[in-house]
């Protein structure tokens, strides 16, 4: 210090001034002031000029909007038993605010959730048109492993979130599948057509009642706005719009009868329709083979869908309303009605049946044997073809088709299910219109016994036969329980005709007729068998004996004989004789109906569950055994309305 | 004549500015951390400030000429310490920067900054001419480059860069010739792209986002964006202390330290930023004024070395917060939380006081 100090000690203050580079120090001051001013300008630009844009970005950082999924309304049977409901589940949401971030994390996400990278990419591409702040579901059904993955990677994979959803559950797998239908993700076309009602990703009814009553069943989703921190963890809540749950619907279906029908039909191809002809209420509607609608409740893969669609057994086809087949001998009821109502042929008209008859140079065989002398009653009871060949020839096709149409064939019944087919009743006009050909009188002979171009659906048969037995009052079939009576089409049939037909049909079952084996002691069970050739008689002859084609078996029955309460139509495709394979099913259903009516414990119903239908949340077998073991009240008045049934999804 | 002087001779204006900045810093550290598991950080910062004040007083009592005399030894100590850090240093966040001293981890490079100020002040003082020769310029460059290289090896690009302005400002004041300056600038401009190409990809990545990997899972671009969102959304008056969503919800990266100005800008708005920047400008101008009134060139070089480092810190940090510069991990002096950094600033201010106290001493 001493040396330096001594040297500097000499310098006077003016010397110091000159020795220090004052100019350069001043320059540095100016540079500092200039730089600071520049930086302040930068802040001005951000905080004053562009402030609004950044405020929006900050808000988007801070707030996330999640949908609150509305539970779909449940379906109950006529006694308030659960047929279709929901269970709580989790979906995996992908937050797409930061597209680059999502792309970067995509391989990790696909790996962590066990999804194919291409599949995830495809879903992201499909949602490109949606606003970026709207998350998309990339895995509808989160497994416990998925949930663990999301929770443990909140920091490094912050774009995944879980969403509580109500997953549709069909507790008994394939049970009632064709009536209930299934739900699935709304299609792009449906979104466009809905005028804003549906948004992509919504779950809507695709078929059956799910589709028919989608508006009631589907609620309105709410939304939840939450404050999240930088790693996506929820730290606070903003306003919430609650979801409006869908309304439950109560069906006319009787779970016990449905179970009998499905059980009897199991392993066959066919359908059962059970109606109350007084009201049009559908008590049971079964179609086999069936499918598990639960498979659709979670996103169904393209492969699975293709497999179901390409199945030669056509499990997705609702045979109750979509199988259009020749009615066979059941058509004789319509012939009888036409004959008696038109009075073109006297009621006591008789024919000698040698087992065949010749018309227009062609031999028409009787399906069975020679019946000897046959009157109308015997012709129905024994199902004599020769008798009705003659009736048909005398009535002519136009009279036949007029009455068949008036009695409800050849048009939709109007049942509240989508996709019903109308069947067909041929006429001269129809042939001219469709084939531009003249009607050959020989065709009338085939039509007379329910062959030829005539086709019907099981629903139509139940509807028309029920209406005929009611004296010509046809109640539109419906599955939704309603207080007001369903629309009625009247085509009054005279008392005597109704009496005659119901008496004859009683005879079919109770007078050593074709369905005598299905007699029910103490019950006035009436019916008519039908055995319809799958291909025409002439084609069959040509094909020879090698042909594998078995006849379609039909049966339609009702009880009691006067003012029937229940009508059952049964179709068993390739079932052979109607009496052998179709009639016993109808008998079982009618018997169960009467057992219940008399307060007897309904038969213990086998709970058939398809292997993969068990929903993870609760055992799917819960409802039925208990319900089946409990004696059910007889009176319909004591039915539990769906509003009062405890439902697990309305007040969460 | 009396040695040193009364409390009057301390630069109370400077101290007022320093306390104002520290006050704002403590407030914002509290706001940025009170709701997190870092809560209570402001107390630790206050403790560091007190420690720094004590160090400042201590250093100001010492004659700075005595300090300058020890420059060669200090320089050796600095190099040894930097080598020691590389050999046995404590690794945190992927870089070796810490040496354990008295149970605390100190960033050796902060001490080195102080030593470089002293060493270069002595060097430029001894040049004693108004025209800096090329030889002296190269010598000054080498003196700076050796510790700078050692710090780069840690790696700590930010702190290494901080040494450069000390040399630049020193050379400028020592009378660097315009042609030399032009050649250096030209060479630097040409070396920049070449140097970039020489770097291996992982090194490039380190250069761009080498700091604080624990706070940086998404890359430095994300940090800058979030910082700008915080600043921009603050508007003129800010969202209010403790109410900044970017800050409170953790979107602002290292909000209590490097990006504390972003947190402040969000919560106190342009008004707050304006106040802070005016205070920093006043601080720097006050330092220059002290240099102008220094008794000798050595004193001036000391004060301007301090000013160069602080100015560099302020400008680079503020520019980073608004996205004008890449993320380099250079904190805002006296406002950002940090023990070693705060200590350094107060010790550096101690040097300034030292020079000031001796301006009238003959």
Asked whether the predicted pLDDT for residue A37 surpasses 70, the reply is: yes
Asked whether the predicted pLDDT for residue A1 surpasses 60, the reply is: no
Mean pLDDT along residues A583-602: 87
Instruction: State pLDDT tens for residues A170-220.
Output: 988 888 999 999 998 888 788 888 777 787 778 889 899 999 999 899 988
> Which residue on chain A is closest to B175 by alpha carbon?
A21
Collect all residues of chain B within an 8 Å Cβ-Cβ radius of residue A46. Answer: 228, 231-232, 265, 322
Burial of B301 (C-beta count, 10 Å sphere; 0-12/13-18/19+): buried
Contact A282, A603 (CB under 8 A): no
How big is the A-B interface in CB pairs under 8 Å? 142
Chain B closest-CA separation from residue A230 CA (Å): 5
Contact A589, A257 (CB under 8 A): yes
Contact A626, A98 (CB under 8 A): no
Asked whether the predicted pLDDT for residue A561 surpasses 80, the reply is: yes
> What pLDDT score does A300 carry?
67
For residue A621, give the nearest of A602, A608, A604 by alpha carbon: A608
User: A residues 179-238 near B, CB within 8 Å?
Assistant: 227-231, 235
Mean pLDDT along residues A348-375: 86
A21–chain B Cβ distance below 8 A for any pair: yes
> What pLDDT score does B35 carry?
78
Collect all residues of chain B within an 8 Å Cβ-Cβ radius of residue A42. Answer: 319, 322, 324
Report chain A's mean pLDDT, rounded to a whole number.
Answer: 82
Asked whether the predicted pLDDT for residue A622 surpasses 70, the reply is: no
Asked whether the predicted pLDDT for residue A143 surpasses 80, the reply is: yes
Torsion of CA A200, A203, A207, A209, to 10 degrees: -140
Asked whether the predicted pLDDT for residue A652 surpasses 50, the reply is: no
Structural domain boundaries in chain A: 63-250, 255-294+318-597
- Range with lowest mean pLDDT among A15-29, A587-601, B277-291, B313-327: A15-29
To test the contact with chain A by mutation, choose from B65, B121, B229 the residue with the greatest count of A C-beta atoms within 10 A, namely: B229
Q: Do B66 and A1 touch (CB under 8 A)?
A: yes
> Which residue on chain B is closest to A50 by alpha carbon?
B232
Q: Do A1 and B218 touch (CB under 8 A)?
A: no
How do strand A249-250 and strand A75-76 relate by DSSP bridges?
parallel
Instruction: State pLDDT tens for residues A236-287.
Output: 888 888 888 999 999 999 999 999 999 999 888 999 999 999 999 999 999 9
Task: Round to whole Å and give the CA distance between A138 and A90.
Answer: 11
To test the contact with chain A by mutation, choose from B225, B230, B232, B272 the residue with the greatest count of A C-beta atoms within 10 A, namely: B232
Chain A closest-CA separation from residue B327 CA (Å): 16
Q: What are phi and psi of A183, to 5 degrees?
A: -110, 165
Instruction: State pLDDT tens for residues A60-83.
Output: 888 888 888 889 999 999 988 899
Task: Round to whole Å and give the CA distance between A423 and A408.
Answer: 10
Structure tokens at B231: 């600043």
Instruction: State pLDDT tens for residues B211-251.
Output: 443 344 456 667 888 888 999 998 999 888 888 888 888 88
Which residues contact residue A333 at a Cβ distance below 8 angstroms, ignoring those fewer than 6 apart?
Answer: A380, A465, A468, A501, A505, A528
Asked whether the predicted pLDDT for residue B309 surpasses 60, the reply is: yes
Task: Round to whole Å and give the CA distance between A491 and A498.
Answer: 12
Chain A closest-CA separation from residue B119 CA (Å): 16
Asked whether the predicted pLDDT for residue A526 surpasses 60, the reply is: yes
- Model confidence at B110, pLDDT cuts 50, 70, 90, reads confident
Task: Round to whole Å and give the CA distance between A89 and A140.
Answer: 9
* DSSP letter (8 states) at residue A49: I
Chain B closest-CA separation from residue A20 CA (Å): 6
Pick the CATH number of A63-250 from 3.90.1310.10, 3.60.20.10, 3.10.20.30, 3.90.79.10: 3.90.1310.10
Structural domain boundaries in chain B: 7-357
Cis peptide before A17 (omega within 30 of 0): no
Mean pLDDT along residues A403-425: 92
Contact A73, A169 (CB under 8 A): no
Which run of H or of E encompasses A219?
A: none
Which of A9, A43, A54 lies at the smallest CB-CB distance from B362? A9
A100–chain B Cβ distance below 8 A for any pair: no
Q: What is the pTM of this model?
A: 0.67
For residue A345, give the nearest of A465, A425, A448, A452 by alpha carbon: A448
Is it true that domain A255-294+318-597 has CATH number 3.30.420.40? no
> What pLDDT score does B15 carry?
94
Cis peptide before B58 (omega within 30 of 0): no
Task: Round to whole Å and give the CA distance between B48 and B60.
Answer: 18
A35–chain B Cβ distance below 8 A for any pair: yes
> What pLDDT score does A321 carry?
93
Collect all residues of chain B within an 8 Å Cβ-Cβ radius of residue A54. Answer: 228-229, 231-233
- Model confidence at B312, pLDDT cuts 50, 70, 90, reads very high
Which of B169, B231, B298 lies at the smallest CB-CB distance from A46? B231
């Amino acid at each position: 210090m001493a040396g330096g100090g001594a040297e500097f000690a000499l310098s006077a203050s003016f010397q110091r001034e000159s020795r220090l580079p004052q100019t350069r120090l001043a320059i540095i001051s100016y540079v500092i002031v200039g730089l600071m001013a520049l930086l302040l300008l930068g802040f001005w630009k951000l905080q004053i000029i562009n402030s609004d844009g950044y405020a929006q970005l900050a808000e988007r950082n801070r707030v996330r909007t999640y949908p609150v999924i509305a539970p779909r309304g449940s379906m109950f049977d006529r006694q308030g038993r659960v047929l279709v409901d929901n269970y709580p589940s989790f979906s995996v949401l992908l937050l797409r605010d930061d597209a680059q971030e999502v792309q970067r994390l995509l391989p990790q996400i696909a790996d962590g959730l066990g999804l194919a990278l291409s599949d995830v990419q495809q879903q992201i591409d499909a949602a490109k048109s949606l606003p970026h702040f709207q998350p998309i579901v990339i895995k509808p059904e989160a497994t416990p492993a998925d949930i663990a993955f999301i929770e443990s990677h909140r920091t490094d994979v912050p774009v995944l979130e879980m969403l509580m959803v109500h997953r549709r559950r069909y507790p008994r797998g394939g049970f009632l599948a064709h009536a209930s239908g299934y739900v699935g993700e709304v299609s792009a076309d449906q979104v466009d057509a809905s005028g804003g009602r549906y948004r992509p990703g919504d779950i809507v009814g695709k078929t059956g009642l799910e589709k028919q009553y989608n508006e009631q069943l589907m609620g309105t989703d709410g939304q939840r706005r939450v404050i999240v921190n930088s790693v996506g963890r929820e730290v606070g809540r903003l306003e919430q719009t609650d979801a409006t749950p869908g309304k439950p619907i109560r069906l006319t279906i009787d779970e016990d009868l449905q179970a009998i029908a499905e059980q009897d039909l199991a392993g066959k191809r066919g359908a059962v329709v059970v109606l109350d002809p007084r009201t049009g209420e559908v008590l049971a509607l079964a179609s086999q083979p069936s499918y598990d609608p639960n498979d659709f409740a979670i996103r169904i893969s393209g492969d699975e869908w293709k497999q179901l669609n390409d199945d030669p057994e056509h499990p997705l086809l609702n045979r109750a309303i979509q199988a259009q087949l020749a009615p066979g001998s059941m058509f004789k009821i319509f012939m009888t009605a036409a004959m008696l109502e038109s009075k073109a042929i006297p009621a006591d008209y008789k024919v000698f049946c040698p087992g065949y008859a010749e018309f227009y140079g062609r031999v028409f065989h009787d399906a069975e044997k020679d019946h000897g002398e046959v009157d109308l009653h015997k012709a129905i009871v024994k199902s004599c073809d020769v008798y009705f060949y003659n009736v048909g020839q005398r009535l002519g096709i136009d009279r036949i088709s007029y009455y068949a149409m008036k009695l409800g064939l050849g048009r939709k019944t109007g049942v509240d299910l989508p996709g019903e087919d109308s069947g067909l009743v041929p006429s001269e006009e129809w042939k001219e219109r469709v084939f531009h050909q003249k009607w050959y009188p020989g065709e009338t002979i085939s039509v007379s016994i329910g062959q030829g171009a005539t086709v019907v659906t099981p629903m139509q048969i139940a509807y028309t036969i029920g209406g005929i037995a009611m004296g010509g009052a046809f109640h539109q079939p419906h599955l939704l329980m309603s207080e007001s009576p369903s629309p009625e089409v009247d085509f009054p049939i005279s008392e005597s005709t109704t009496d005659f037909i119901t008496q004859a049909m009683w005879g079919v079952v109770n007078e050593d007729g074709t369905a005598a084996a299905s007699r029910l002691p103490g019950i006035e069970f009436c019916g008519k068998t039908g055995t319809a050739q799958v291909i025409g008689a002439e084609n069959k002859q040509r094909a020879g004996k090698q042909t594998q084609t078995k006849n379609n078996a039909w049966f339609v029955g009702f009880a009691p004989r006067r003012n029937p309460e229940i009508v059952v139509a049964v179709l068993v495709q390739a079932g052979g004789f109607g009496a052998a394979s179709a009639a016993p099913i109808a008998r079982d259903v009618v018997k169960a109906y009467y057992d219940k009516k008399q307060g007897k414990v309904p038969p213990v119903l086998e709970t058939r569950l398809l292997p993969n239908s068990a929903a993870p949340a609760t055992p799917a077998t819960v409802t039925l055994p208990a319900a089946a073991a409990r004696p059910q009240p007889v009176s319909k008045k004591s039915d539990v309305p769906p509003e009062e049934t405890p439902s697990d999804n309305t007040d969460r | 004549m009396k040695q040193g002087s009364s409390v009057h001779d301390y630069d109370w204006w400077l101290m007022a500015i320093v306390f104002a900045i520290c006050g704002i810093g403590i407030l914002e550290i509290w706001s940025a951390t009170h709701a997190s598991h870092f809560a209570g950080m402001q107390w630790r910062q206050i403790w560091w400030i007190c420690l720094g004040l004590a160090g400042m007083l201590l250093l100001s009592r010492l004659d700075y000429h005595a300090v300058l005399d020890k420059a060669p030894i200090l320089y050796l100590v600095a190099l040894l310490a930097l080598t020691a850090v590389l050999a046995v240093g404590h690794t945190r966040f992927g870089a070796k920067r810490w040496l354990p001293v008295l149970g605390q981890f100190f960033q050796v490079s902060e001490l080195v900054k102080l030593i470089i100020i002293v060493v270069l002040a002595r060097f430029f003082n001894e040049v004693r001419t108004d025209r800096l020769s090329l030889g002296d310029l190269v010598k000054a460059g080498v003196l700076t480059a050796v510790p700078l290289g050692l710090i780069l090896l840690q790696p700590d690009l930010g702190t290494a860069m901080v040494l450069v302005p000390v040399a630049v400002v020193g050379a400028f004041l020592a009378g660097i010739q315009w042609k030399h300056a032009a050649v250096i600038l030209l060479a630097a401009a040409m070396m920049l792209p070449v140097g970039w190409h020489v770097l291996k990809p992982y090194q490039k990545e380190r250069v761009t986002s080498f700091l604080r990997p624990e706070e940086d899972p998404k890359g430095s671009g994300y940090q800058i964006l979030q910082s700008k969102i915080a600043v921009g959304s603050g508007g003129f008056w800010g969202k209010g202390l403790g109410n900044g969503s970017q800050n409170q919800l953790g979107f602002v990266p290292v909000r209590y330290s490097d990006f504390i100005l972003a947190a402040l800008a969000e919560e106190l708005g342009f008004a707050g930023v304006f106040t802070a920047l005016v205070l920093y400008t006043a601080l720097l101008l006050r330092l220059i004024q002290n240099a102008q009134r220094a008794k000798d060139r050595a004193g001036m070089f000391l004060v301007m070395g301090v000013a160069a480092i602080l100015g560099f810190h302020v400008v680079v940090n503020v520019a980073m917060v608004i996205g004008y510069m890449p993320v380099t991990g250079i904190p805002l002096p006296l406002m950002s939380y940090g023990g070693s950094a705060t200590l350094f600033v107060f010790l550096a201010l101690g040097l300034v006081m030292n020079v000031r106290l001796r301006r009238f001493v003959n």
